[in-house]
Amino acid sequence: MTPRTPTEVLAASRRRTSIIKRQRVLDVLQQMLDEGRQITFREVARQARVSTWLVYAEGVRERVQAAVDKQEASPVRSRSDGRLASSAGLKADLAMANEEIKDLRDKCQRLQAGMRQNLGHQLDQITQRPLAERITELTEANRKLEAEVAELRPLKAKIREAETDLAAARTSLRQMIRRQS
User: pLDDT-based confidence at 132, cuts 50/70/90?
Assistant: confident
- Report pLDDT digits (tens) over 146-159: 999 999 999 998 99
Counting beta carbons within 10 angstroms of the beta carbon of residue 47, is it exposed (0 to 12), middle (13 to 18) or buried (19 or more)?
A: middle
State which amino acid sits at residue 86. S
| b/e 14-28 (16+ beta carbons within 10 angstroms → b) | eeeeeeebbeebbeb
Under 8 Å between Cβ of 137 and 131: no
Supply the DSSP symbol for 37: -
Our measurement of the distance from residue 94's CA atom to the centroid of its chain's CA atoms, rounded to an integer in Å, reads 27
Per-residue pLDDT at 131: 76
Q: What's the chain's average pLDDT?
A: 86
Report helix, strand or coil for 28: helix
- pTM value is 0.41
Predicted pLDDT of residue 80: 47
pLDDT digits (tens, 9 = 90+) for 70-112: 887 775 454 445 556 667 778 888 889 999 999 999 999 999 9
- What is the pLDDT confidence band of residue 127, given thresholds at 50, 70 and 90? low
Residue 161 has pLDDT above 50, yes or no: yes
Q: Which residue has the higher pLDDT, 122 or 84?
A: 122
Cα-flanking dihedrals φ and ψ of residue 49, to 5°? 55, 50
> Per residue in 36-66, pLDDT tens?
888 999 999 999 999 989 889 899 999 999 9
